[in-house]
Amino acid sequence: MYVRIVRIYNNNVVLAEREGDQVVLLGRGIGFQRKAGDLIDSRGARTFVPDSLHKAAQVAGLLSEATLEQVEVTRRMVELATPEGVAGAVAVGEAGAAGATAASSGNTGADASRPGKQILFMALLDHLAAAVRRAELGITVDFALKWEVMALFPSEAGLGKEAQRLAETELGVRFQEDEWVAFALHYVNFRWANGNLLKTVAMTSVIKDVFALLEGKWDVEIDQESVNASRFVTHLRYLIVRTVRHSRTPHGVDVYDAVLRSTPGAATTAQQVAELIGKALGNELSREEVGYLGLHLARLYESELGA
């Protein structure tokens, strides 16, 4: 398909117009000796479209500041989180659904149901390019959430470490030891917070504060790697996401009164945890949420104190 160039960012990145919509084309030499207004064949180039967080010009700007090698490594990083996508994990076909991700133009049938893939791609690429520059200059930064990410999001922490190994191997660069923390947070965004880093940091901080509250109230150090603690963390993640999205519990049953009768201590603690979460997120938890929170707290309490 032929598209008309709107702006040339460099030899490998151009902003173009396709059927009235702006797209960004990425390909080696695609902008070489071209000018605005030229018609070019988009076949063989990767096509990016605007998404909910990035306008076309922002996408082009990010891509133009990275190398083609960094773009390819980022594509593979996205595949780590979306194994079902394989070669098409960051693909967008000629349909060009808004919010889909980049692709060789020969691919079609983009996974439009997961618009977060392009947001993940852009976030990882932006961080990767910055991390490479820092490594080359010998600059280090403090990743304050290292312990929390490891304890609360072990799966995403593993992805972050794998992403760091991939980048170091393919790009021949050596990052600081805990660079994986930042990559992991982007994977957490993708899975839990719809690409919003502030929500991810808030979620991580809230979960940390919940455990601090429980340890102080119960006078015990909770083993956060235990089965019941892991289950509780998973419940908290989904609870926080539902609260942010103003969604109802999937159960649709109010168990608060039952919890209050059977384990009044758990019900009281659930109210305290609910107030903490509600204040942090700016949304009050429903009675149903507090009830199920009490159920999980009762189980956690029993496992930790043998009560």
Look at residue 100 in the predicted model and tell me its pLDDT.
31
The yes-or-no verdict on residue 131 having pLDDT over 60 is: yes
Look at residue 96 in the predicted model and tell me its pLDDT.
29
> What does the pLDDT average to over 135-164?
87
Q: What are phi and psi of 22, to 5 degrees?
A: -85, 140
Mean of all residue pLDDT scores within the chain: 81
Between 226 and 91, name the one with better pLDDT: 226
Contact (Cβ atoms closer than 8 angstroms) between residue 46 and residue 93? no
Q: What is the pLDDT of residues 97-109, one digit of tens each?
A: 233 333 333 332 2
Look at residue 115 in the predicted model and tell me its pLDDT.
54
Q: What is the pLDDT of residues 175-226, one digit of tens each?
A: 999 999 999 988 988 887 555 666 677 778 888 899 999 999 999 999 877 7
Look at residue 105 in the predicted model and tell me its pLDDT.
32
Look at residue 80 in the predicted model and tell me its pLDDT.
93
pTM of the complete model: 0.64
> What does the pLDDT average to over 69-89?
74
Q: Would you place residue 273 in the very low, low, confident or very high pLDDT band (cuts 50, 70, 90)?
A: very high
Q: Would you place residue 230 in the very low, low, confident or very high pLDDT band (cuts 50, 70, 90)?
A: confident
